[in-house]
């Protein structure tokens, strides 16, 4: 599914683009069933511990959690940051949708799960789409199944993806809701054009805590970020199976899910690896092979020949 010239123009102007009916209802259903299978314990060997994730605050518990910081090449579970979180250890079979307030599962579903791999790493439409945007050697650096459960799913404060994933090259988020995403259940909000009018001024960086000597993730501001009152965010409602492309510098957020309807989503990030550098300060690193990620295709030889 190569993008048309008008779609590319809109993406470059707004910093995001919705592609309707990108995944078929059958593909959406497979992803939901795959996650249900994972939660029932068929992949217990990959998820023997749990963590907590909070996207509403800068100093969430994940910032110093080794379980989170070493999840770049694994499948791991993260609960909502609630007052009484579930026990730290569990068996996968205890993770039912009704009993566990999960926030997300990440960050290498595209590698460990056949269904999620087919929907990302092996998806031919995605390869065509990326070629139309000029990607030469794109790799998936992370993938997540995000839960926005009815009455439970927390908000995600306004941010840019480039704050969390630092690279000298292109970075693209691909996000699809697996249920209809509405204002009521926590759809995404964007500030159109903010990737052109604002700079990325905040960076989550790996560093060593002076008191403990342990690796932690800290937020560094090169200048104060804008307050939410200064932003001109607009809601982007989507149907299940639609896809939104997200520029690394466009500001976006989602509100809490105060409705009685869930808003699960599957998302992954693609980074250009041709003539670019993945920052060693990123929290996200492939523990097995630092600096390397799952490649979708390699057009570097063709790129050289046509230059």
Question: 57: domain CATH number?
Answer: 2.60.120.620
Strands 234-236 and 294-295: unpaired
Q: Are 148 and 262 within 8 A, CB to CB? A: yes
C-beta neighbour count of 305 within 10 angstroms: 8
Do 288 and 221 meet the contact criterion of CB atoms below 8 Å apart?
Answer: no
In the block, which residue shows the tokens 């959406």? Answer: 28
Distance CA 253, CA 189 (A): 5
Q: What predicted TM-score, i.e. pTM, was given to this entire model?
A: 0.90
Read off the pLDDT of residues 78-136 as tens digits, 9 standing for 90 and up.
Answer: 888 755 444 444 444 444 444 457 889 999 999 999 999 999 999 999 999 999 999 99
Phi, psi angles (nearest 5°) of residue 38? -60, -45
Structure-token pair, residue 113? 């799960």
Q: Domain residues for 249?
A: 5-306
Q: With the CA atoms of 227, 53, 163 and 262 taken in that order, what torsion angle do they form, in degrees rounded to the nearest 10? A: -70
pLDDT at 168 exceeding the cut of 90: yes
Residue 233 or residue 82, greater confidence? 233
Q: 27-37, pLDDT tens digit by residue?
A: 999 999 999 98
Q: Is the dihedral of CA 55, 57, 63, 67 positive or negative?
A: negative
Our count of domains for the chain comes to 1
Cα separation, 175 vs 12, in Å, equals 17
């Amino acid at each position: 599914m190569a993008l048309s010239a008008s779609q590319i123009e809109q993406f470059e102007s707004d910093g995001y683009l919705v592609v309707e009916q990108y995944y078929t209802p059958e593909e959406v259903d497979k992803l939901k069933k795959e996650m249900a299978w994972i939660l029932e314990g068929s992949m217990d060997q990959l998820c023997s511990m749990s963590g907590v994730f909070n996207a509403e605050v800068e100093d969430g518990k994940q910032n110093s959690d080794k379980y989170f910081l070493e999840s770049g090449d694994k499948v791991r579970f993260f609960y909502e940051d609630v007052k009484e979180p579930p026990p730290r250890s569990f068996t996968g079979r205890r993770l039912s949708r009704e009993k566990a307030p999960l926030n997300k599962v990440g960050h290498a579903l595209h590698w460990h799960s056949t269904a999620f791999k087919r929907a990302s790493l092996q998806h031919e439409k995605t390869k065509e789409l990326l070629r139309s945007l000029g990607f030469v050697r794109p790799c998936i650096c992370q993938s997540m199944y995000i839960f926005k459960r009815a009455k439970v799913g927390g908000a995600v404060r306004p941010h840019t993806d480039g704050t969390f994933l630092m690279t000298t090259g292109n970075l693209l988020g691909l996000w699809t809701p697996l249920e209809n995403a509405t204002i009521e259940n926590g759809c995404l909000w964007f500030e159109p054009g903010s990737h052109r009018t604002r700079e990325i001024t905040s960076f989550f960086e790996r560093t060593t805590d002076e008191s403990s000597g342990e690796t932690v993730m800290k937020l560094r501001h090169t200048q104060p970020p804008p307050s939410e009152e200064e932003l001109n965010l607009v809601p982007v409602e989507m149907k299940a199976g639609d896809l939104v492309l997200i520029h690394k510098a466009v500001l976006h957020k989602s509100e809490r899910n105060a409705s009685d309807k869930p808003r699960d989503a599957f998302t992954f990030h693609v980074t250009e690896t041709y003539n670019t550098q993945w920052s060693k300060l990123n929290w996200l690193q492939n523990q097995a092979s630092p600096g390397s990620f799952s490649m979708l295709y390699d057009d570097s030889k063709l790129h050289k020949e046509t230059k």
